[in-house]
Amino acid sequence: MKVYAASIQTETNTFSPVPTSYEMFEETYKTFRGQDLINPNFWGAPMVAFQKLANFYEDTYVEGLCVAAEPAGTVPKKVYENYRDEILQDLKAQLPVDMVLLNLHGAMVAEQYDDCEGDFIAHVRQLVGNDIPIGVELDLHTHLTDKMMQQADLIIAFKLYPHTDVADRAEELYHFTRKIALERLDLQHACYDCQMINLFPTGISPVKEFIDQLIMLEKDDPKIISISFIHGFIWGDVSDLGAKILVYTEKKLDPDGLYAAKIAAKLGDQIYSVREQTRVNLLSVEALIAKLSQTKGGPIVVADFSDNPGLGGMGDATFILHAILDAKIGNVVFATIYDPSVVEEAYLAGLGKTIAISLGGKFGPLSGKPIQANATIKFLNPQLTQTFSELSLPLGKAVAFEINGNMIIVNALRSQIYAPDTITNMQISLSDKHAIIVKSSEHFRAAFASIASEIVRVSTPGVGNMDIKNIPYKNLKRELWPINKI
């Protein structure tokens, strides 16, 4: 068996004013010919799983270009096309192959391409022909399109949010795509539109029990190959926005596909019926300050929801930090503020120095105003990393500042915050803190829950606006809850 694998990943916030540039891809994740095993991280986790299974099966594994960028605005047309065409050229040179595995996101939008993944899969299909199976792993925050489903033999999305099952889903994809290639396993698929859009954390009821049910169905029902609950991505202005259920069945057991359609509809109606219980409750900045002022102990873990780089925020918004400083609240740690220029100033000054900084607030009104302060340099880390799902993620050069009794971590590589080691790797203790502010929406929960006295999420001005009814969609033509009453 000759297996070809490749990857293009980003999650596009079409409301972000900052395009996802070539440089953003290059600095976040780029490998070629299986370099993922040298220093594996979250972006390459599926590729590592593919490599290990190829070794197990003694398959010939060829890994093409793999690139990823932190979420930001619309990808320039040439950036997407250049990466796509580089992979296609490499794949063409490797033909013939027996199967193709693609590690994609599902919510990548480029200029003139609302469905980058569908376009990419279609180009791969044109190259390899109809007899070579194409398996695709997607993030559950995808805009699932007819084109993706028509061009791929099998699509498997993450089941968990936070995404701690990325490698597990990759292993499933490899096994089943290999069966399609070797045993001519024939599949049916059905997709059901749930007619809603929201965030659906899978560690919290009622979504937790729903995901448990999907996993049991896959295990116990011989007709079912795979079930994916597609959450959709709120901040992508595309026509296919929204939650969906995707079911694959074995064709010899479901020859007309009616069983797949029945299961998809049943599950879709079930998750829709509990939609009101999935509403996301966010505090205002004013309510957060009141809570911190009136509460002793901690640490209270606070998510700066709207400026989360993981949904396209720039990670340099200062609204919460300004409020903390104005209220003279102390013993708070911030992780992190993205500001490469301030990081460089700190490295030039050196450890222990106190310098005047203009911190954050550099990407326009949604970033707030810069913090003007005298800050003491408490720690420098030239290669700060954090751990997510047992894999390492880089945060670049970083500095820990002390400002008015608070610790602020400033870094040079934009990323959401996943884990407490972001902070402890800067020699900052956690247990004695009153509050920990993280630039994240949900992924932080998996690692921070065990140390938090309480977890709250805060709404600030930003591209991660959770007032879904008032998001200015232009391309959405269907009615979806909670935008419409259905």
CATH, domain 2-278, list 2.60.40.4070, 3.40.50.2300, 3.40.50.12500, 3.30.70.2190: 3.40.50.2300
44 vs 275, higher pLDDT: 275
- For the cut 90, the answer to whether the pLDDT of residue 418 exceeds it is yes
* Model pLDDT, residue 43: 85
Residue 248 has pLDDT above 70, yes or no: yes
pLDDT for residue 265: 99
Mean pLDDT estimate for the chain: 96
- Please list, in sequence order, all residues whose beta carbon lies within 8 angstroms of the beta carbon of residue 186, skipping any fewer than 6 positions away: 180, 250, 251, 252
Q: What are the residue ranges of helices labelled H in 250-388?
A: 258-273, 285-294, 319-326, 340-349
Shortest CA distance to 462 belongs to which of 234, 197, 292? 234
> Which of 415, 388, 422, 392 has its CA nearest to residue 166?
388
Would you call 297 exposed, middle or buried from its count of C-beta atoms within 10 A (0-12, 13-18, 19+)?
A: exposed
- Name the pLDDT band for 39 (thresholds 50, 70, 90): low
pLDDT tens digits along 187-212: 999 999 999 999 999 999 999 999 99
Mean pLDDT over 136-146 rounds to 99
Mean pLDDT of 73-102: 99
The 10s digit of each residue's pLDDT in 276-312 is: 999 988 999 999 999 999 999 999 999 999 999 999 9
Q: How far apart are CA 242 and CA 234, in angstroms?
A: 8
Alpha-carbon distance 361 to 378, whole Å? 22
Q: Which residue has the tokens 């597990």?
A: 168
pLDDT tens string 444-476: 998 999 999 999 999 999 899 899 999 999 999
Q: Say yes or no to pLDDT of 233 above 70.
A: yes
pLDDT digits (tens, 9 = 90+) for 164-180: 999 999 999 999 999 99
Cα–Cα distance list, 462 to 74, 303, 345, 366, 472 (Å): 16, 13, 27, 5, 14
Q: What is the pTM of this model?
A: 0.94
Mean pLDDT of the 227-244 span: 98
Q: CB under 8 Å to 391, separation ≥6 — which residues?
A: 40, 41, 42, 45
Asked whether the predicted pLDDT for residue 337 surpasses 80, the reply is yes
For residue 389, what pLDDT is reported?
Answer: 79
Predicted confidence band of residue 36 (pLDDT cuts 50, 70, 90):
low
pLDDT for position 38: 61
Report domain extents, the chain.
Answer: 2-278, 285-465
Answer for the pair 22, 77: CB distance below 8 angstroms, yes or no.
Answer: no
Pairwise pLDDT comparison (391 vs 260), residue with the higher score: 260
